[in-house]
Amino acid sequence: MKNKFILYSIVLLLSLCLSFTACNELDQFPTAQFTEDVYWTSTDKAMSILNMAYNQMYNADFFFRTEALSDNVQMRRIHDEKIISSGQADASNGRFIDEWTKCYAGIKTCHTFLENVDRVSGMDENLKTRAKAEARFIRAWQFFRLTTWYGDVPFFTKDISFSESKTISRTSHAEVLAFVRNELEEIVSILPTNKQYAANDRGRITAGAAIALKARTYLYENDWPNVVATCERLINNTTYGEYGLFDNYATLFAVENEYNKEVILDIEYVPILRIWNFYQDLVPPSALGRVLYMAPTQELVEDYIMLNGKGINETGSGYIENNPYINRDPRMDMSIVRHLSTWTSPDGTTRSIYTQPNTAPNADAKKDEYVANQETTSPTGYYMRKHYDPTAVSNFDSGLNLPLIRYADVLLMYAEAKNELEGMDASIWDITIRELRRRAGFTDAGALDFPGTTDLQNIIRRERRCELALEGLRIFDIRRWRTAEIVFNGALHGAKFENNNTYIILDQRTFNPERDYLWPVPQSERDINPNLGQNPQY
């Protein structure tokens, strides 16, 4: 059963959303909606505002669309993310505006809660202290999200008025980041661990989540010593929570396994009351998919190694060009639908998916075949499987939680940092990469045993890509590795389904390293507040 704190607050949150009159800029919602004397009269009402901040942290729309900013997927239709990845976006792009607006809306809610919760008479002091720590985490999350995309951003730790929002200037990335880290460290000792929360509060922010997010802030700055030190607070250490790899990668993301030991932080959904249905535009047409929104690329597929641990282009890999999907990393088929994959429908029936042209045995199966420039089929010859919820009701309405931070990510951060510090050895390999591959289903010693000094950086980066594929994290990796100008200059590809057995050539992408490592301040914000300035070349 879903956690009570989400279920209890959904109806009230919906009514609050309907009552908001959204403003532009940093003063997102009228403070009066939350600060009337009648409102801060009970613990339940106060906690509903905190739950609103949870609701604003992230959503399925951003989760999937952020993956489309990377080289892991190709968008079928023209959308903001496709314009960004093509290098043609300006400061009026809708995604730039949406990200900025929603982050500051969440910050507004956190400030309002923090500044008013003490007015609630009779609220349990332990609950109040914990709730404040949760709000501080969410505020830190939103500021980290902002400064990661935009660099210097408007920064404030109290609710500001509309007039103030029109004159505030930006604070440096370094100062915002320092605040985020200090906040996360201060609340670690206040927040419960994942084992200390009652079942009704599953999904709330934990001490482990604060530490994992802090590790991510160091990762994105390539601050390897601090990545190591922070990850070690969670690896083989139960002080801040009990985490580990879930036993089965194939069912790790299933509804029945929500809140498993690998989940550190996720986006909470509730069947019927709070759902997402993005998947209707990701699946094969024969599986009742709608107009295809985006699809995995050949570049992602080719990074899944062989069962013997070798890349497909390495000598002795055993890769067979005319049978390219056999003996591959099992996570590939657990995440991606390719030619002759098996698909299980909600009613339990299975079917083979035919994506290669002119191979389907009947008209229904033919719906999934690649056809150039046809909106209903995949532009790459691949469809998505990871996060598919076979329990979803009509129109793929799903209450499946979506992962924001997994313990697997902690292991990958740790392995990468250790390697960059020239500290990767068999002992570190065995508790990180080996464990991830063993869980995925590898059994060959060539994949499991420490490979010595053989291009470990590439091996670890590829492992990260495949383990975390389609979880919205790839774009941040290629940005911090400063490889975006390499992977984004030129066309991405689909399967070998074109004439003469050649790869499908997708849209050209362009990345300007002098401009595109930061997003622009939205033009609509600068029109109101010229003090915001602008990032280079926008």
State the amino acid at position 453 in one-letter form: T
Question: What confidence tens digit (pLDDT) does each residue in 313-360 have?
Answer: 999 999 999 999 999 999 999 999 999 999 998 888 999 999 999 999
Task: Return the structure tokens found at 387.
Answer: 């996060």
Backbone CA torsion sign across 376, 380, 386, 387 = negative
Paired tokens of 248: 């089965």
Residue 180 has pLDDT above 70, yes or no: yes
Q: Where are the beta strands (DSSP E) in 389-489?
A: 402-406
Residue 29: is its pLDDT beyond 50? no
pLDDT for the residue 34:
57
Q: What is the mean pLDDT of residues 106-110?
A: 98
Is residue 1 predicted with pLDDT exceeding 90? no
Structure tokens at 299: 């570049």
27 has a pLDDT exceeding 70? no
Token representation of residue 381: 């010859």
CA–CA distance, 430 with 426 (Å, rounded to integer): 6
Eight-class DSSP state of 368: T
Residue 3 predicted with pLDDT over 90: no
CB atoms within 10 A of CB 72: 28
Q: Could you tell me the CA-to-CA distances from 310 to 453, 458, 459 in Å, in that order? A: 14, 12, 9
Among candidate residues 522, 469, 404, 392, the one with its CA nearest the CA of residue 54: 404
Q: Residues with Cβ < 8 Å from 198, sequence gap 6 or more?
A: none
Tell me the pLDDT tens digit for each residue of 235-280: 999 999 999 999 999 999 999 999 999 999 999 999 888 999 999 9
333-to-52, 76, 377, 407 alpha-carbon distances in Å: 37, 22, 19, 22
Query: In this structure, what DSSP letter does residue 285 have?
Result: G
Q: Spell out where 174-293 has E strands.
A: 263-267
Q: What is the pLDDT of residue 368?
A: 97
**pTM of this structure:** 0.95
Most confident of 29-33, 67-71, 342-346: 67-71
